[in-house]
A and B are shown apart, each in its own frame.
Chain A
Amino acid sequence: NAGVTQTPKFQVLKTGQSMTLQCAQDMNHEYMSWYRQDPGMGLRLIHYSVGAGITDQGEVPNGYNVSRSTTEDFPLRLLSAAPSQTSVYFCASSYSEVDFFGQGTRLTVV
């Protein structure tokens, strides 16, 4: 049972480049979310989805897009990377208010 799988684990981007962080879960959870984790700030919610075809903004959505075409997948797109988006990104899926997290993607924007 893979749980929540994120790819890639590490990524370096140049300012202005775009990329997609992948997230897949095999637990058939309806609720999925993306967080970023910065030192001393805990996790902050970027976007979330309550089911296929439904997405909404979290606390820090600017510069990021999401879509949810299937229950399993919830990709996060960076449109034009900026140094302020250097962070560790976590994807999570939830069932009955318990969250299951992926291993994270460490992104550096130079």
Chain B
Amino acid sequence: KQEVTQIPAALSVPEGENLVLNCSFTDSAIYNLQWFRQDPGKGLTSLLLIQSSQREQTSGRLNASLDKSSGRSTLYIAASQPGDSATYLCAGGNYGQNFVFGPGTRLSVLP
């Protein structure tokens, strides 16, 4: 059974810093991986989906990578802004199976 972890649970950085959020998974047969953003009291918004044939995806200041052999995915946020403050969750899915979610990293970007 796929298990997904995210460390640290919380992170504070000053505005303008580049930062990396980490996601680890136990089963290297992972088929795809998705990163989400969750604002307080809100639902999840899909940010990036890395499908099995891909190693990374980019959207604006966000870049997500997937390394199946090491069991890791990273979300890179360039030039962080206070508006990036939110909880970021990753979710991994094996082929034909539902996504398994990590517990999330709560990010605070300080002005």
Task: List residues of A whose CB falls within 8 A of some B CB.
Answer: 4, 33, 35, 40-45, 48, 58, 90, 92, 97-104
Q: Which residues of B contact A35 (CB under 8 A)?
A: 101
Binding site for A on B (CB under 8 A): 4, 9, 32, 34, 36, 41-46, 49, 51, 89, 91, 93, 98-99, 101-104
**16 A-B interface contacts by CB (under 8 A):** A4-B43, A40-B9, A40-B103, A41-B103, A42-B4, A42-B89, A42-B104, A90-B43, A92-B44, A98-B49, A99-B36, A99-B44, A103-B42, A104-B41, A104-B42, A104-B43
Q: Give the secondary structure class of A's interface.
A: strand
A41-B103, A42-B104 known; A99 and B98 CB under 8 Å? no
Contact A99 B101 (CB under 8 A): no
A97 touches B51 (CB 8 A): yes
